Chain A
Amino acid sequence: MALVRGCNFPDDLYYNVDDNVWARRESDGTVIVGMTTYGCVLSGEIVAWTAKKAGRSVDQNKSTGTVESGKWVGPVKAPVSGEIIAVNEVAVAVPSTINADPYGAGWLVRMKPCDWAGESGTLLNGQAAAEAFEAKMQTEGFPGCA
């Protein structure tokens, strides 16, 4: 696991660094999507997760739903194109779960990707992701995850 300014970035995930989202490919070919610890710290305590309904198709970098905190409202962008096949109802019911466990119980949607092989190449993982997050934090003046 990479640790960048106190924020952890698990090695087995693929990241859209600009939008602070991660994707994890499951053994059945589906993809779990969530927010990074960095995104959660920037947002502050999340008070609502309003996802698009299961069955909706979403293009890469388009919204899978809206996250809202006291100081931020914005979309969670799909790391790859695909159909939303499940929404994490725990995160809907208790949005602070997203802050508490962004890579586990705080996942957001499960997708059936259209073209994982083609589109996942735009995502970063491992050391490349860590370096890109460090550069992003530097640009944004981010002090670090507490």
Chain B
Amino acid sequence: MDSLKLVAGIEPLQGIVLDAALVGEMQRAAGATDVIDFYNPSFKSYATSEIVSCGKSAWPAVSITGPDCKLQCDHCKGKILASMIPACTPEELWRVANQQIEHGARGMLLTGGSNHRNEVEYDPYYATIRHIKDAFPEFRIAMHTALVDRDMAQRMEDSGIDAAMMDVIGAQETITQVYHLKRSVDDFERTLENLVATRLKVVPHIVLGLHYGHFLGERVALEMLRRHKPSAVVLVVVMPFYAPAHRPFGVPDSLEVGRFFLDARQALPDIPLLLGCARPAGQAKAEIDAYALMAGLNGIAHPADGMVELAARLGRKARIASTCCSMAMGGEMVAESGLWAKPGVSSIPV
């Protein structure tokens, strides 16, 4: 059945605008997995008519610098860090990890603000991270690495983290203007190379529309990923609402985002491709998520209302997990969660 007609029949998706030609192309290119994984990490309290909010502490986000970040990138200004749990000393990190585990956490996103070289200064924390992993081997840690050299990547591996995440940027103008950073596109590729050389599961992200809401270096970034073959790839879409008024970001065009999803799917046919939790809100989010589903992405974090029903109508079996999508290698976390999906059922308690 025509995918557009399916979308039109789903109440939360009524009114969204999808491009018929692109949807047709996605349908013809189908052959994608028959399963879609929906992720509901608890660093954002999230509920729709289809997915009920799960435990508050299943997958928290922790910042080793609190809200502080030297870069003050134009799209964020440190606001993304502000909602995370601060752990600004190794002792505090140990205490936070223990508290979260006591409250039912299965893992955490570990990140922090960058220095002026786009490095997160984890050195004082590695011994504590190792201690956490030794004491709680089932507790998963996904680390936002920022830029690393070979030695830093090795120290991350030695600390016992489960997944390494970084944003891959493919345009010098974006690095200079948005990130205010004196680093090169090659530095990002070298970071990817250094991480992939370890035994870590490496899950790079591409932020679509990072150049003030416009596409610029995304396809160069995609080529980098083709060269280095990470464990999985997360696509996110820039959130325009944190930008200051004097340097505004537009909402990236949903059609262009959808086109990129299809190109990325075809460029990386054997690598899990996921839509991460950062993206614009409202109608744009519903359009982006619908394209992601139809393009054959393997997973979506915090899916827009109506996605579970759309997946079922497209014949894809939905699974739901309360983890970060960057832990999605091989789907093992979804399986471990013991969650279920039932196509055709649109109200799923998690």
Contacts and interface: CB of A to CB of B under 8 A. Distances in A.
B281 A68 contact: yes
Which secondary structure dominates where chain B touches chain A? Answer: loop
Interface string A97-126: 000000000000000000000000000000
B43 A48 contact: no
Interface string B135-149: 000000000000000
A71 B42 CA distance: 9
Given A70-B79, A70-B82, A50 B281 contact: yes
A48 B46 contact: no
Interface of B: 14-15, 43-49, 53, 79-80, 82-83, 239, 241-242, 280-283, 302, 305
B282 A50 contact: yes
B44 to A, nearest CB: 5
A72 interface: yes
Contacts of B302: 73
A63 B12 CA distance: 10
A73 B44 contact: yes
Q: Number of contact residues on A: which range applies?
A: 10 to 19
In the A-B complex, list the 10 residue pairs whose CB atoms are closest, starting with the nearest. A48-B281, A47-B241, A71-B83, A50-B282, A68-B281, A48-B282, A72-B45, A73-B46, A74-B47, A70-B83
Interface in A68-108: 68, 70-75, 95
A136 interface: no
Contact of A74 (B43, B46, B79, B280): B46
A53 B15 contact: yes
A89 B28 CA distance: 39
Interface centre among A63, A66, A75 (most CB of B within 10 A): A66
Contacts of A63: 49, 305
A49 B282 CA distance: 7
A50 B280 CA distance: 12
B282 A72 contact: no
A56 B242 CA distance: 32
Nearest to A72: B45
Contact of B45 (A48, A49, A71): A71
